[in-house]
Amino acid sequence: MSYNIKDILKKFWFVILVGAIFVSFAIFFAWDTNKDTIGAKSSKGKDVIFTLANKNYTADAYYTDLFETMASDGTATSGVQLAYTLLERSVVDQSVKATDEMEKSAKDTFESVEASYKQAYGDEYEATITPQLQQLGYDGIDDFEQFFLDQEKSSKLVSDYIEEHKELFDEVYEEKSPRVISHILVSMSDPDNPSDTEKARMEEIDKALKDESFGKVAKQYSDDTGSAEENGSLGIQLKDGSLVEEFEDAAWKLKDGEVSGWVKTSYGYHLIKVNTTSKEKMLEDEKYKDSLSTVIQSYYPNLKKQIVWGKAEELGVKIKDEDLKTDLMKYIGVDEEKTEE
């Protein structure tokens, strides 16, 4: 589907990524951040957006730097990353309707993070957050809560796609031997030399497990407070080196329902339980939905970008700047020739 420029701006504001419109949009963020401090200048007929060490930087120079300087993760230039970020935000906005639950979750997360930032940065809170949000295509501090809602909507877009394409898990299952794992941790500053108190705590846990379920004991005793709230569950895990080596080695020696002896790691001592290795349970049990999405995305690192691009095509995005299109396709991991078939 094609639109003229007026139709695009009315229906899909995200196609300001296209051609020269994107150029102006990218430059705006740099100018808007500095407009109150630099004043209006021009150099050889071109707008100056900032001055550093008595050297004027024009909008043209900024735009060139934007697409020549690699971003911090080294996967693309800053300009290409910004283009993708704006594309994702806009596609998600068009494709996913926020629910009451998503709005509540975003609000709770925002309030927690905001409190942490204010505690850490005090009076510099707004000055610290604003440029970070602007780098992500937001106007500033007033969009901070919206950022978290957009993350909720983005996660929904991906999880819905995975729900419809569960075959993605086939290769993950074959290659990475996934299993649902729970644990109970007794944390120690010196695991090589447990104190009498720490030894007594381990004995108390062993005794409790004779009468209570693993999950209930984990909830009561585990020092890993995050998993303790989930009855010790770490969700679906992959044999990919992301877990501590001693922990991973012990966990993948267990069969369904088995519990290990105490396993020493740099964190302390763990009791490990394998809840299930069943592919069907991991695919169908609702409580594993989030971790299923996480492990699939970790196995296919470009999956989210490709989902976003697929939705963008459905919404009629046309990128006229061929260089930008080529760079975006490379960053997203899409075969450009196939998209043109």
Alpha-carbon gap, residue 177 to 51, rounded angstroms? 55
Question: 171-284 is classed in which CATH architecture?
Answer: Roll (3.10)
**DSSP code of residue 18:** S
- Beta bridge partners, 77, equal 70
Tokens of 167: 């075959």
- Nearest-5° angle of CA 17, CA 21, CA 23? 85
Range with lowest mean pLDDT among 75-84, 108-117, 147-156, 260-269: 75-84
pLDDT tens digit string along 61-89? Answer: 666 776 777 777 778 877 788 888 888 88
Q: For helices 59-66 and 78-95, give the axis angle rounded to 10 degrees.
A: 80
239 vs 300: CA distance, rounded Å: 15
Give residue 134's pLDDT. 81
- pLDDT > 90: percent of the chain: 61
pLDDT attached to residue 31: 36
Q: At 234, phi and psi to the nearest 5?
A: -100, 5
Task: Please report the pLDDT score of residue 219 as a whole number.
Answer: 97
- Cα distances from 82 to residues 86, 130, 322, 335, in angstroms, run 6, 16, 17, 20
Domain limits, the chain: 5-89+305-339, 97-164, 171-284
75 or 13, which is more confident: 75
Helix (H, G, I), strand (E, B) or coil at 49: strand
Task: Please write the tens of the pLDDT for every residue from 86-123.
Answer: 888 889 998 999 999 999 999 999 999 999 999 999 99
Question: Would you state the pLDDT for residue 50?
Answer: 55
How sure is the predictor about 37, in pLDDT bands with cuts at 50, 70 and 90? very low
Cα–Cα distance, 58 to 32 (Å, whole number): 14
Strand order in the sheet with 263-265: 233-237, 179-187, 268-276, 263-265
